[in-house]
Amino acid sequence: MTQVSSSGVTKARSAVTIGAFTAVYFILMWCSGMLGFFGPAFMFVGWIVGLILNGPVVMLMMVRSRMFGTVTIMAGVVAFLMVVTGHSWVTVPVALVLGFLADLIARSGGYLSAPRNIAAYMLFSLWMIGPLAPIFFAPDSYYADVASQMGQDYADGMRALFSPAVISGWVVVAMIFACLGGLIGRFLLRKHFSKAGLA
């Protein structure tokens, strides 16, 4: 009975931890994404800022929670919020799959291996391709929606910039900056990892 109660308390604490860090993650991502209002090219700048700022957030969440499903839950919540705020439904399955795979990587190190947690964050961060997915299979409707929200000039500029080749290249760039964000998180959280006997 005591073990069951203890397990319930642990899961409840993990749920609260995930919820709190997901809120911080989304706020930082949303605020950095506001840079996109200055022009389509600034969307990349906003994503880079978000990847770096959220590295410590996700790294700390994984260390604090240590529960399988941690990243998947964050991915699902963030994707849902993105859809609610007007982004493509494709974001949900993309984010959930990447979150689950990231969880597998982090769990293999007990959520305490810095290199594996960084690798998990890098993979998870690619969920941001989800909102752009319609560019590949329904570009006209996608840019029509952008034009209705941001204006035709913005939509035209985005269409010229966001070619499939650029988006594919962005995947590599995103992983590099996610790695940087994870390394910064590792540096800031070195005490948590050192207590676990990990470098």
pLDDT of 101-133, one tens digit each?
999 999 999 998 999 999 999 999 999 999 999
Structural domain including 45 reads 2-195
**pTM score, whole prediction:** 0.88
Mean pLDDT over each residue of the chain, to the nearest integer? 89
Domains held by the chain: number:
1
Of 14-18, 39-43, 116-120, 191-195, where does mean pLDDT reach its minimum?
191-195
Encode pLDDT of 132-166 as tens digits.
999 988 899 999 999 998 999 999 999 999 988 89
**Which own/partner contact pairs does 108-116 have at CB distance under 8 Å and 24+ positions apart?**
110/66, 111/62, 111/63, 111/65, 111/66, 111/67, 111/70, 112/63, 112/66, 112/193, 112/196, 112/198, 113/198, 114/59, 114/186, 114/193, 114/198, 114/199
Encode pLDDT of 160-198 as tens digits.
999 888 988 999 999 999 999 999 998 888 765 555 444
pLDDT at res. 198: 43
